[in-house]
Amino acid sequence: MIIYIIRRLLQIIPIMLGVVLLLFFLFNWVGGDPAYILAGKFSNEEQIANIRHQLGIDRPAYVQIGIFLEQIVTGDFGNSWSTGERVSEIILSRLGPSLTILLPLLFIETLLAITLALAVARIRGSLTDRMIMIFCTIGMSISILVYIIVFQYLFAYRLGWFPVQGWGNSLRENLFTYAMLPILISLMVGLAPNLRLFRSFMLDEISQDYVRTARAKGLSEKRILWIHVLRNASIPIITYIMAALPGLLVGAFLIERFFSIPGIGREVILAVERSDFPVIKAITVYVAIATIFANLLADLIYKAVDPRVELK
């Protein structure tokens, strides 16, 4: 396994080189000239040329790529163009609020989706199964904006159970006060598609020969579902969760924006609105790195869940 991990870590180098080249092309040729953005409307050619020199974009392409690689290796992406803060400090300060929402949501959503998927798969084809699938389809058809507006009005404004928006300095206060309603909304949005997907994974396994053999041996239905079916269905479930995990940090921008949560997703929106290229580039690189390591972690979890999996 050690050799496999080392080989996978070495594969990060060509992957990151591809990411760097792609980002460099997008930001330097498609994104426009950042010197014009920083200079503003009232500027002359001398000011623009000076900004280009300060940013290093008047240098040859290979030099600029080298600077970009140095930024990735050192983790120093310079300062934000809009606020002047260090980009690394911005990302570190925004990571905590995002994880305060993401980690409890991921745990609760995965546990509920797996439990309900097993229960629904056990009564597959019944009226209850069909009604649950209908409600899931309806839930998936409703925009997250509707959930945000309705839940804010009902639970925050009318009932007063949760604050409409805000964020504090205490982890306990943030988790049990400000994060509760965003987690509830995200759970309502994500549970329906996950339940439908996990149910299909369970049904694929229930129809296998080993399940019929287990029933013939007299094993209880509960043991068959929770031990045999769940273990074999866990591979695609892990694949789905780990593939979606890095994107969840950025994908929660609507929740963070509507609830004024100073997280990564909200920072992405602000950076796009301000054309703050250093922040956008840094977050894009970190998401790419997180995706690579999430895939590696998924492979290791495969082996832990199912010893039959061979890492080659």
Distance CA(17)–CA(10), nearest Å, equals 12
The pLDDT of residue 29 is above 80 = no
Q: Residue 308 CA to chain centroid, in angstroms?
A: 29
The pLDDT of residue 5 is above 80 = no
Taking only the tens place, the pLDDT of each residue in 42-73 is 666 666 677 666 666 667 777 778 888 888 88
Distance CA(177)–CA(97), nearest Å, equals 13
The pLDDT of residue 32 is above 70 = no
Burial call 169-197: b when 16+ CB within 10 Å, e when fewer: eeeeebeeebbbbbbbbbbbbbbbebbbe
Domains of the chain, each with CATH number or no CATH: 2-74 (no CATH), 88-305 (1.10.3720.10)
Taking only the tens place, the pLDDT of each residue in 78-114 is 888 777 788 888 888 888 888 888 888 889 999 999 9
Query: What count of other Cβ atoms lies within 10 Å of the Cβ of residue 132?
Result: 19
Separation in Å, CA 178 to CA 43, 124, 152, 165, 265: 44, 38, 12, 7, 16
On whether the CB atoms of residues 244 and 72 are closer than 8 A, the answer is no
Average pLDDT estimate for 255-271: 84
Average pLDDT estimate for 290-309: 79
**64 CB-contact burial (10 Å; exposed 0-12 / middle 13-18 / buried 19+):** middle
The average confidence (pLDDT) of the chain is 81
**Which among 180, 156, 193 has a CA at the least distance from the CA of 101?**
180
pLDDT level of residue 311 (50, 70, 90 thresholds): low
Taking only the tens place, the pLDDT of each residue in 124-164 is 878 888 898 888 888 888 888 888 888 888 888 888 888 88
Distance CA(305)–CA(237), nearest Å, equals 11
The pLDDT of residue 36 is above 70 = no
Taking only the tens place, the pLDDT of each residue in 172-212 is 888 888 888 999 988 888 888 899 889 888 888 887 888 88
- Residue 143 has phi, psi (to 5 degrees) of -65, 150
On whether the CB atoms of residues 101 and 179 are closer than 8 A, the answer is yes
Question: Of how many residues is the chain composed?
Answer: 312
DSSP the chain: -HHHHHHHHHHHHHHHHHHHHHHHHIIIIIS--HHHHHH-SS--HHHHHHHHHHHTTTS-HHHHHHHHHHHHHHT---B-TTT--BHHHHHHHHHHHHHHHHHHHHHHHHHHHHHHHHHHHHTTTSHHHHHHHHHHHHHHHS-HHHHHHHHIIIIIIIS-SS-SS---S-HHHIIIIISHHHHHHHHHHHHHHHHHHHHHHHHHHHTSHHHHHHHHTT--HHHIIIIIIHHHHHHHHHHHHHHHHHHHHHHTHHHHHHTT--SHHHHHHHHHHHT-HHHHHHHHHHHHHHHHHHHHHHHHHHHHH-TT----
**Which among 16, 46, 57 has a CA at the least distance from the CA of 288?**
16
**Which among 255, 278, 223 has a CA at the least distance from the CA of 91?**
278
